[in-house]
Chains A and B, each alone.
Chain A
Amino acid sequence: MNVEELVRAALREQADEQPPPGAGLADRVLTVRRRRRNRRIASVAGAAAAVITVAVGVPRLTSGGHDVRPSGVVDSHTVSAHPKQSPPTELVAAGRTALAAYYTSKSVFSNAHDGVSTRTYWLLDPKSGRYEKTTRWSWVAVAPGLHTAAVLEQHLPVRRIGLLDLASGKIKRWIPVDHPVGGLAFSPDGTKIVATTYGDNPDRFYQEDKSGNAFREVPCSRTGFYVLDAASGKGSWAAVDTTSDDPDAEPVNTRQDFAFSQSGGSIMTATSTAPWIGFYDVHGRPVEAPASEAHRSWYVLAGLSPDGTKLAGDFAGKKWHTSSWLLDPVTGKPKTEIHGQQLLAWASDKSLIAWDLTKGEKNEFHQRLVLVTIGSDKEVPLSGFRKGNDGAAGRWQPIFADR
């Protein structure tokens, strides 16, 4: 036997010893694919969870004072559209929902390969109805009502949470925390905050080359979450072990924040195995999914309709025909098909804000915000078209909140 023959024998022996891959490989792959497409969308999932809410009792952090919101923000029945603006400079809103903020991301490298995805936010100024740029915050979650945002400073994870008065632009309260926080989301009623804690910056990544093709996320360092009372800042921390043998507990992304379920009774997060979403109680113990959210897809941000009768579903189109499913929340089966490439937020029980292409468009990333309505072929453009591919620097990502 010569060396070549031994190489051949050793390789074949090693190959023959390999057990087949575990079941569900195709679905894991599709999850990876999905998560890359939705990486930045996922990062606002927490904020979006506040979209489908019944806006009650949002704590005002100012000590009284007059309501300085412009009438366009207050009137929840109007549509405020700016189809020539991308990103928007003036209020975009439809029905109960407003574009409360948006952000762009860029990669900042500390060496040739290690980078951090950093966000620049534009927050709706309720006085002027315009979006104002800020680089002060690494994370922003806007409470229903558009008065208050919960913010994190740069260099995540951080040890304090700021509650920002959007009218004055000032911090009204700092909430110190023992476990460093990397992400925030409000409860549907705006009275609580879930803060996801991490051991390391959840926006870190490793990139092999500048093309971005050989991108690799670093392992998730998530440690658990706080549930805090927004008014008092009091609350408790729950550990959620990401190294658990339970595959349901495995996070999908480096940043995999927790958010409130739409009923507000439990905490949810994406998982890497079917049913792709997991629910916890406030103590970090896994619980059953709420009946109306068991079939929810974590990457479809719109979630449950305000009246709870319809669940926003996945893409239903084919090739360049774009549409999405609306599902029966209990059975998970499609009830109807609606225009829209990605359903982002419910504007009413019958209409949603979505990303969509124009007819005949052959670039899946050339999207604009539109208002789509059940049973109608009419789409109302709300913004201009986004430029660049998914993940491109400068591509804006919306954050919606009830107004």
Chain B
Amino acid sequence: MDAEGLESFRHFVAGRSAALLRTAVLLSGGDRHAGEDLLQGALAKAAGRWHRIEEPEAYVRQVLYRQQVSRWRLKWRRSEVSVAEPPETGPPGTDTAAAADLRLLMRQALSRLTARQRTVLVLRYFEDLPEADVARLLGCSVGTVRSTTHRSLARLRTLAPELAALDPAAGERPSPRDYSPVEVRP
């Protein structure tokens, strides 16, 4: 990479790495270190062909998504994700603490999905991409994106039965009741 390329690469990383890292951490199921590794690998790949890349962010994101899915497909050793103890939540309530508990529960469930399932959900619900764009990015059909999304949500409900109560199809929502915030140990 020549001096001009180095300058441009450093400028890009300085400006976009925070946003890219957020995505990388989500793709890694909340594992900050794995997310940093993932991003670093994608940036290294981009650096190798910097002068030929027209849209760096699109390129790096595509590498992030595909690399993560590839890791799953090739049974890349899955690092343990450091999460808090599962909260012993009661049925979902409407108070803030209960909502926070549910989000935490969801995070833990997300971390237990396969990388492909999680990647599809990150693209659909965090990046807010249409199914066709997700399919293009992952190199699969729209039908695969749709079915993976469906199976991933179903898996989340299995992993965290408390979430089933959110689904209208799961039946009547239990009556809200008070329950104390649970202790979450790092």
Contacts and interface: CB of A to CB of B under 8 A. Distances in A.
A72 B179 CA distance: 88
B126 A15 contact: yes
B57 interface: no
Interface in B92-137: 99, 102-104, 106-107, 110, 121-122, 125-126
B76 A208 contact: yes
B103 A9 contact: yes
Contacts of B146: none
Given A3-B166, A26-B10, A18 B32 contact: yes
B71 A6 contact: no
B138 interface: no
Interface residues of A, number: 34
Contacts of A319: 2, 51
B125 A7 contact: yes
Contacts, number: 109
A330 B121 CA distance: 54
Interface in A1-23: 1-4, 6-16, 18, 20-21
A318 interface: yes
Contact of B47 (A2, A14, A20, A29): A29
Contact of B21 (A18, A28, A209): A18
B76 A15 contact: no
Contacts of B163: 3, 6
Nearest to B94: A1
Contact of B166 (A2, A18, A30, A33): A2
Given A32-B44, A214-B70, A3 B167 contact: yes
Contacts of B61: none
Interface of B is mostly: helix
Given A3-B153, A15-B26, A21 B166 contact: no
A243 B157 CA distance: 41
B62 interface: no
B168 A29 contact: no
Nearest to A1: B166
B148 interface: no
A118 B37 CA distance: 26
B74 A209 contact: yes
Contacts of A291: none
Interface residues of B, number: 50
Given A26-B9, A214-B70, A10 B76 contact: no
Contacts of B142: none
A171 B157 CA distance: 67
A11 B99 CA distance: 14
A36 interface: yes
Which of A10, A28, A208 has the most B CB atoms < 10 Å from its CB? A10
Given A20-B18, A26-B13, A10 B47 contact: no
A8 B74 contact: no
B125 A4 contact: yes
Contact of A32 (B17, B25, B40): B40
Which of A9, A30, A317 has the most B CB atoms < 10 Å from its CB? A30
Contact of B106 (A7, A25, A33): A7
A15 B163 CA distance: 21
A70 B21 CA distance: 59
B43 interface: yes
B33 to A, nearest CB: 12
Interface of B: 1-2, 6, 9-10, 13-14, 17-18, 21-23, 25-26, 30, 32, 35-36, 39-41, 43-44, 47-48, 51, 67, 70-71, 74, 76-77, 99, 102-104, 106-107, 110, 121-122, 125-126, 153, 156-157, 163, 166-168
Interface of A: 1-4, 6-16, 18, 20-21, 25-30, 32-33, 36, 206, 208-209, 214, 317-319
List the 10 closest A-B pairs by CB distance, nearest first.
Answer: A10-B106, A26-B13, A20-B18, A15-B22, A11-B126, A29-B43, A26-B10, A8-B125, A208-B74, A10-B103
Given A6-B163, A15-B22, A33-B44, 20 more contacts: A1-B166, A3-B157, A7-B110, A7-B156, A10-B110, A11-B26, A11-B110, A11-B126, A20-B21, A21-B21, A21-B39, A26-B13, A29-B43, A29-B44, A32-B41, A32-B44, A36-B44, A208-B70, A208-B76, A319-B51
